[in-house]
């Protein structure tokens, strides 16, 4: 083995050690990146209800029934909130968490149609915008520059849950802010005091909530509107394709009603379902059976929503006239303020004035983590705090590599200089 190779050996050792240290640091960093990924979703905790509009028992978190002997309990859905009511008597015959504020998803579009449709001519023409065509979530297919009637937009809103048509209807009344004001006024008129509105589509938005009780009020009102009631039971609709002509020659494509209970349960009369990943599944459904009208509402169901809603309606078909009420759906204009155990009677509290609900009402514990300020200095789960021991160990490894790697290099350098000095001395003695 040559001396030059031996002199370079410590450098090779140093390089290998440094590479190993770098790999260790990189691997640790990768592992930490994996550890720092979003934590498992925590169990959702429903926020507290503040209202007992419709009856003091309705603020309870328990399943509410008042059943005579021989009447079985209703099939309770796997959902945060639900109710079933007789629309003719306006009596709630079974319920749970009906005033708990929850993200409504597209069920909010019932409020959109109630508030905006009365002020618009069904034949009024609207030209699609870039914002309509590119809105998040479900779209019916509005194309920028293409023209549509209000009737087209309402069918797209209630049948196919188009967020593009919701945005378009808002534009027709002066924009999102103007639409929201109309929707808030409608909620106040109906007595839907749990509802806080932020947009026309129901897309998740901070503070936007409704309740099973409020959705029942809105659904009941929609059934009284001839135009909306007809749309809600329309199985399919030929929505206009791209173009400006409104004539018969314009191409159209079939859109389907999202209400899967149509045709599966006798006498279904509406109304609207919704889903987002944060709000989970919700549904407002109504049906007429033997001359009696019933409504069922489910909010935040983790899984199927049409089957349990249908089960509630079928239970009401059999036992609705035997069950005793646990509360009632107030009539439009009956109250002008929310009532509840912590609300002074003299205080008028509208939906728009109500304090924003718990952030958890928006859809889950991840929303709480996003909304509350986090302290990087005290959070034991902070990735930087978990990373520093690995970084410190890597730094010590690099220091050791430098110490044990450079020392042989320096020693070899001294020996090499000594050899050169002896060689010069030998040459000098031979010369003289």
Known binding-site residues for substrate equal 272
213 to 69, 145, 181, 220, 417: CA distances (angstroms): 27, 40, 21, 11, 93
Q: Catalytic residue among 51, 96, 109, 282, which?
A: 109
161 included as an active-site residue: yes
Q: What are phi and psi of 47, to 5 degrees?
A: -70, 165
Residue numbering of the annotated binding site: 272
In whole angstroms, give the CA distance from residue 315 to residue 317: 5
Question: What b/e readout covers 135-148, taking b as 16+ CB neighbours within 10 angstroms?
Answer: bebbbbbbbeebbb
Half-sphere exposure of 255 (CA within 13 A, CB side): 26
List the catalytic residue out of 161, 211, 282, 394. Answer: 161
Q: What is the DSSP string of 400-421?
A: HHHHHHHHHHHHHHHHHHHHHH
Residue 55 Rama label (left phi>0; alpha psi -120 to 50; beta)? left
Q: How do beta strands 236-240 and 147-149 pair? A: unpaired
Handedness of CA 256, 259, 262, 263 (dihedral sign): positive
Q: Which of 106, 210, 286, 394 is catalytic?
A: 106
Compute the distance between CA of residue 299 and CA of residue 104 in angstroms, rounded to an integer: 7
Please give the backbone phi and psi of residue 371, each rounded to the nearest 5 degrees, phi first.
-90, -30
SS3 content of the chain, % helix, strand, coil (to 5): 45, 15, 40
d(CA 340, CA 338): 7
Question: Is 109 among the residues known to form the active site?
Answer: yes
Asked if 132 and 164 touch (Cβ cutoff 8 Å), the reply is yes
Using CB atoms within 10 A of its CB, is residue 282 exposed (0-12), middle (13-18) or buried (19+)? buried
Structure tokens at 334: 């009956």
| φ, ψ dihedrals at 295, nearest 5° | -135, 140
Catalytically annotated residues:
106, 109, 161
């Amino acid at each position: 083995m040559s001396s030059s190779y031996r002199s370079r050996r410590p450098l090779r050792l140093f390089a290998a050690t440094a590479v190993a240290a770098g790999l260790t640091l990189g691997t640790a960093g990768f592992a930490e990146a994996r550890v720092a990924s979003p934590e498992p979703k925590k169990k959702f905790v429903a926020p507290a209800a503040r209202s007992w509009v419709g009856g003091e028992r309705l603020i309870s978190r328990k399943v509410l029934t008042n059943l005579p002997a021989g009447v079985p309990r209703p099939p309770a859905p796997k959902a945060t909130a639900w109710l079933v009511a007789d629309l003719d008597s306006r009596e709630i015959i079974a319920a749970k968490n009906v005033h708990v504020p929850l993200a409504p998803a597209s069920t909010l579009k019932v409020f959109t149609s109630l508030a905006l449709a009365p002020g618009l001519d069904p034949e009024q023409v609207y030209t699609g915008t870039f914002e309509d065509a590119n809105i998040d979530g479900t779209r019916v297919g509005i194309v920028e520059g293409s023209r549509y009637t209000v009737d087209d937009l309402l069918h797209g809103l209630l049948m196919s849950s188009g967020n593009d048509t919701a945005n378009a209807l808002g534009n027709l009344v002066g924009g999102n802010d103007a639409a929201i004001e109309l929707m808030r006024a409608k909620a106040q008129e109906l007595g839907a005091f749990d509802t806080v509105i932020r947009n026309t589509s129901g897309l998740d938005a901070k503070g936007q909530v409704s309740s099973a009780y409020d959705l029942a009020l809105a659904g009941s009102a929609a059934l009284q509107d001839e135009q909306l009631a007809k749309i809600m039971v329309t199985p399919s609709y030929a929505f206009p394709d791209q173009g400006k002509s409104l004539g018969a020659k314009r191409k159209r494509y079939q859109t389907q009603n999202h209400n899967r209970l149509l045709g599966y349960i006798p006498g279904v009369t509406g109304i609207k379902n919704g889903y987002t990943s944060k709000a989970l599944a919700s549904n407002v459904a109504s049906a007429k059976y033997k001359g009696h009208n019933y409504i069922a509402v489910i909010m935040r169901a983790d899984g199927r929503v049409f089957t349990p809603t249908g089960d509630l309606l079928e239970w009401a078909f059999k036992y609705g006239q035997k069950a005793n009420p646990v509360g009632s759906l107030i009539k439009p204009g009956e109250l002008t303020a929310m009532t509840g155990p912590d609300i002074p009677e003299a205080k008028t509290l509208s939906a728009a004035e109500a304090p924003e609900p718990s952030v958890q009402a928006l859809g889950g514990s991840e929303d709480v983590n996003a909304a509350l300020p986090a302290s990087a200095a005290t959070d034991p789960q902070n990735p930087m705090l978990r990373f520093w021991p690995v970084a410190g160990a890597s730094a010590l490894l690099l220091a050791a590599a430098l110490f044990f790697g450079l020392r042989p290099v320096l020693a070899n350098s001294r020996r090499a200089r000594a050899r050169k000095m002896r060689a010069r001395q030998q040459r000098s003695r031979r010369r003289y």
